[in-house]
Amino acid sequence: MTTKRNGPQKGAVGPTDKPSAGYVNEDSSSSIAHQVPSTPLRVSMYVDGFNLYHGMHSRFQRRYLWLDLRALATKLLKEDQELGEVHYFTARMRGGGDSAARQAEYLGALRATGVNVVEGRFQEKHVQCRSCQTQWLSYEEKESDVSLSVSLVEHAAMDKFDVALLLTGDSDMCPAVRAVRRLSPQARVIAVFPPARTSGDLRRTAHGSMQLGQAPLRQSQLPEAVETPKRTYERPVHWK
């Protein structure tokens, strides 16, 4: 079985603890790249949930998984920007168990803080070893990447943002970024690479890029308990 990876590549953007200071390789040809707007630029963030999760887990284990995405997005803003919507794309883990319970707790906490959670699904997939011909049942995430791409392009066409922060290291997002450039040339897409994840293709396609460092993650943790009128979502003990 071949697993798609988007790990560090030669020439990747170096990590930074102060990403709000600017974006690497920001496109100077953008019609708004050097303007000082009379009103703040509208920023939306689009998060590839599994790419972010695996990047954080690879670099920091479980330390920062209870992540406040709206707080993180706010830390990535420039002075002339204001945060609008935050969209998180993922799929529910199958089979129940502790992992699924932790994910459910986190998704509930995100929704309670105003994040739009868009869920895909896992599809059964039969895998066969090429050497020994042994077969086993696996699961493949479906729809999340497509939903992210469609939302990014649709929202650009609807003029819902001036700047999109695209939090992923997956080069499959490049066609969506190119579509935004064609449909909404006034908008910018900034690639935000999770820890231990990057893509040279995405870096070259986006208007700018940054590597997500440890400090913004550490400073953007949800409260230990996120309360709503109906229930309280608590940080899983396994993530402490």
pLDDT band at 87 (very low <50, low <70, confident <90, very high): very high
Q: Domains plus CATH for the chain?
A: 39-239 (3.40.50.1010)
Q: For the chain, give the percent of residues with pLDDT over 70.
A: 73
Q: Are 177 and 202 in contact (CB under 8 A)?
A: yes
What are the backbone angles phi and psi of residue 143, rounded to the nearest 5°?
85, -25
User: What is the spatial distance between Cα 9 and Cα 196, in angstroms, rounded to a whole number?
Assistant: 10
pLDDT, tens digit (0-9, with 9 covering 90-100), for 10-68: 333 333 444 444 576 665 444 444 555 579 999 999 999 999 999 999 999 999 999 99
CA distances from 223 to 106, 107, 108 (A): 12, 14, 13
C-alpha span between 191 and 204 (Å, rounded): 10
20 versus 159: the higher-pLDDT residue is 159
Q: Taking the model in full, what pTM does it have?
A: 0.80
Q: β-strand 188-193 against 163-167: which pairing, if any?
A: parallel
Structural tokens at position 3? 């697993």
Averaged pLDDT score across all residues of the chain = 84
Distance CA 141, CA 151 (A): 18
